[in-house]
Chain A
Amino acid sequence: MCLLKVTGLTKTFKNKKDRVYALKGIDFSIKQGECLGLVGESGCGKSTAAEIIARLIKEDSGTIEFNGAYITSEKRLKCVGRDLQMVFQNPKDSFDPKYSLLESVMMGADSYRIYSKIELIKRAKELIKYVGLKESYMYKGIGGLSGGECQKASIARALICSPKLIIFDEATSALDVSVQAQIIDIMRRLKEEKGVSFLFITHDLALTSSICDNIAVMYSGRIVEYGKCRDVLCNPKHPYTKQLVSSVLPVNRRCDIPEFNALRDTQYAPKGCDYYAFCPNADEKCFKNVLHMFQIEGRSVLCCHADD
């Protein structure tokens, strides 16, 4: 059963003079207990998609079906907030410095009144231990915690209502590799033990391959390739995905850094294709064919001609 189904999501932001298209119609779905990785370069619309799903900002058009209900019309998340939580990129800023760790974790369930005060304290303490934080931190302010510890505390706060889906919005980007591994370990445990689903937004393809079942590669507000994580990363089809995968540098040897120079002028790009300037496969067919999601080897690829 689909836990989250996003269809035709679009969003524009008003700049002083013109409009910036952040999302140009994206579709994806997440099943119960599944992890979807949303990858792509900075500014491609990953975080905007996450914030729309979490009802922090409103979309222009499109629908979001979560847990059998359409949440697109909801202004606030309270209706589904118990089942949908989010972990943010900046761990330290995710907590109000005025409150202790225990109070901050308890805030996750404060508004839903699902536990009595004693139960809430007990559950918060259990979760703080579950994510691997010391008991001595509980009554201290967040200021004394490291970035990794804050991120674990964020996960504890997200877990307090036993959500079905947690959005990780670049939650590992600001952390060192050892803490990243610990966070991935917590995610794996949650997935296996509690069947929690994840929308994992990241730049890091290695992390994506270690935790995600499916992957959606975004470029300039569109999903350009979407399929099983292993298939997409091992055998990418879209030229942008190929470029992205080839940019991952191996740790054990020196290698050439791939170039990201524009091959041609975007001014004459065919309608709808944002990758034309960089695309090595671009030719006169780009102008004849319409941009379309093709099914190629079990995954969806956005392109104008699939015969390549």
Chain B
Amino acid sequence: MERKKYPLSFWILTVLILLLILSALFAPALAPNDPNKTSLMDALKGPSAQFPLGTDPLGRCLLSRMLYGGRVSIFSSLIITACVFVSGTLIGVFSGYAGGIADAVLTKIISITQAFPKIILAIAIAGVLGIGIKNTIIALCVVEWAEYARMARNLTRGVKERTFIKAAKICGYSQFKIIFRHILPNIIPPLIVNASLGIASMIMEVASLSYLGVGVQSPMAEWGAMMNTGKDYIQTNISLVLVPGAAIFITAVIFNLFGEKIRDILDTRN
């Protein structure tokens, strides 16, 4: 099969995403200060040589906290997306391919999960499990898998009816082989597009939970939690909200554009 040529914009966005991931990964080397070191003497200072983006109410370096915060925000959303992508796809493919009672039961469970307001359900789960990044990830996984499962189920039902599946059965293929050689390769592209678009919303959901106080807790740096801290000073020192807000916005935009580019490349409309 011939290889596709990727447009320049795809490579630019890939480089930007790599830069984001590398900056989060090498935050300890890049951060000018210790993100958790408090110094009331330096509280709410403007940009200076020592603190390039200023400090927060506890005198912690804003730039260092933003770089460290990226670790939590980006990696947790990548982990959640990977988990819901794999679990949702497997459940959806099983439901769509098996049909019958299994499909009816799983579809009802998916519908029930999707009927709840996502953030409210995530808050409830995180509230029951306790505060912390691990529980935030679990809560969002429990809420988000249904979307992928429904999509995978519907796509599987479409592919299952196609003639090449009948041809594969006549060629003696096992159910397992049909799923892995014919169903999954045909349904994965739109799911990948959905996942890459979903990373951005996942970053915002992690930030929302932290902002609401059920996600990451102090002193751990996370963009949503940083905005939560900064909201009381929005009148006097807007950079406390602006810096993490801009980080969330830029990261979300880059992942969104990347997802749209992947959609164009895979051309999943057909």
Using a CB–CB distance below 8 Å, which chain A residues touch chain B? 51, 54-56, 76-78, 81-82, 84-86, 88-90, 93-100, 107-112, 139-141, 154, 157
Contact = CB atoms under 8 A, between A and B. Distances in A.
B232 to A, nearest CB: 55
B182 interface: yes
B186 A86 contact: no
A99 B164 CA distance: 11
A111 B164 contact: no
Interface of B is mostly: helix
Contacts of A55: 169
The winner among B168, B171, B177 for most chain A CB atoms within 10 A is B171
B167 interface: yes
B1 A111 contact: no
Interface in B170-189: 170-174, 177, 181-182, 185-186
Contact of B182 (A88, A96, A109, A140): A96
Contacts of B174: 111
Given A96-B186, A100-B1, A111 B173 contact: yes
Given A111-B171, A111-B172, A139-B1, A90 B185 contact: no
Contact of B167 (A84, A88, A112): A88
Given A81-B171, A96-B182, A98-B186, 11 more contacts: A76-B172, A86-B166, A89-B163, A93-B162, A95-B167, A96-B164, A98-B185, A109-B171, A110-B171, A140-B1, A141-B1
Q: Is the interface on chain B under 10, 10 to 19, 20 to 34, or 35 or more residues? A: 10 to 19
Nearest 10 Cβ contacts at the A-B interface: A111-B172, A93-B163, A78-B172, A81-B172, A96-B164, A98-B185, A94-B163, A88-B163, A86-B170, A108-B171
Contacts of A154: 167
A92 to B, nearest CB: 9
A107 B168 contact: yes
A111 B177 contact: yes
Nearest to B166: A56
Interface in B1-34: 1-2
29 contacts: A54-B170, A77-B169, A77-B170, A78-B172, A81-B171, A81-B172, A85-B170, A86-B166, A88-B166, A90-B163, A93-B164, A94-B164, A95-B164, A96-B185, A96-B186, A97-B186, A98-B186, A99-B1, A107-B168, A107-B173, A109-B171, A110-B171, A110-B172, A111-B174, A111-B177, A141-B1, A141-B2, A154-B167, A157-B171
